Amino acid sequence: MQMRKVIVGTVLILSATAARAAWAEGMVIAALGDSLTQGYGLVQDEGFVPQLQAWLDARGVDAQVINAGVSGDTTAGGLARVAWTLTPDVDAMIVALGGNDLLRGLDPGVSRANLDGILQAAEQADVEVLLVGMDAPGNYGPEYKQAFDSIYPELADSYGTLYAPSFFEGLQMEGDDPASVRAYMQPDGIHPNAEGVALIVETLGQSVLELIAAAQSS
């Protein structure tokens, strides 16, 4: 009987320790994306993930953001590595892919299929997703733009995921002055500078808070 009490007590102690450890680790969010997520052209602390982490920390949010951004990645690249991105400790995932598909003029149907595969993988792993949209430029024609732009809200609706219209939503042009946005971009005109990332995080961070709440309640 004494030995049984010792065993039971040990099990309870180990269970309590494991629970405290799990709580201490908090929420784990994987940010699956391309160079915008990876932090291209910026020092480490100025990239999207470090700035988002600091934004969450400043608000007392117990969450760890993992940088799963790969510069140059298309939706196909994201699909190829989503399985090993969704490790057992990942509770939620930000999906921000499609910019390089646009730069290469890839078929919107292919991009849709790849993003669909990513969302399927997240659903199977029981991981909540924030899908970040991407707007196609008008130079590919109105049909291409309509087909590409509709991918994100339609997939978000189909899978019941959270949806943010654009990664660049926080960079709103002041009036009709394009220079007001260029001031927050790197010289290539594609990637945001540190100040631009801060504005992006300020806006997108609200959706990340919704993502965390959804993951906690699931």
Residue 33 CB neighbours (<10 A): 25
**Residue with the larger pLDDT of the pair 74 and 25:** 74
Tens of pLDDT, residue by residue over 137-146, are 999 999 999 9
State the Cα–Cα distance between residues 213 and 87, nearest whole angstrom: 20
pTM metric for this prediction: 0.86
Residue 218: band (very low, low, confident or very high) from pLDDT cuts 50, 70, 90: confident
Q: Which of 91, 101, 191, 207 is catalytic?
A: 191
35 noted as active-site residue: yes
Tens of pLDDT, residue by residue over 20-44, are 333 335 899 999 999 999 999 999 9
Quote the pLDDT of residue 22. Answer: 37
May I ask the CATH class of domain 26-217?
Answer: alpha beta
In the chain, where the domains are located: 26-217
Tens of pLDDT, residue by residue over 98-107, are 999 999 999 9
15 noted as active-site residue: no
Q: In what order do the strands lie in the sheet with 63-69?
A: 63-69, 27-33, 92-96, 128-132, 162-164
Quote the pLDDT of residue 198. Answer: 97
Quote the pLDDT of residue 172. Answer: 75
Q: Which of 35, 91, 111, 207 is catalytic?
A: 35
Residue 162 CB neighbours (<10 A): 19
- Enumerate residues 6+ apart whose C-beta is below 8 A from 76: 110, 114
**Percent of all residues in the chain with a pLDDT value above 90, rounded to a whole number:** 82
Residue given tokens 């590919």 in the structure block: 140
Tokens of 125: 């792993």
191 noted as active-site residue: yes
